[in-house]
Amino acid sequence: MKLATRSSHRQAIVVLDRRLAVIMHRMWSDGTEFSWEK
């Protein structure tokens, strides 16, 4: 049971890391400035 919990936690971290990487890559490629208001 603990292994499944760890696996799910690790998968969630990977999903979040990928989402951040995609957003950062998109910002760098088109030169968009980060906005805290969004």
pLDDT attached to residue 7: 76
Residue 6 has pLDDT above 80, yes or no: no
Go through 3-18 and write b for each residue having 16 or more CB atoms within 10 A of its CB, e for each that does not. eeeeeeeeeeeeeeee
Report pLDDT digits (tens) over 16-29. 999 999 999 999 99
- The answer to whether 34 and 27 have CB atoms below 8 angstroms apart is yes
- The answer to whether 29 and 22 have CB atoms below 8 angstroms apart is no
Instruction: Tell me if the pTM is above 0.85.
Output: no
From residue 7, alpha-carbon distances to 15, 30, 38 in Å are: 12, 35, 32
| Tokens read off for 25 | 């890559």
- Higher per-residue pLDDT: 16 or 6: 16
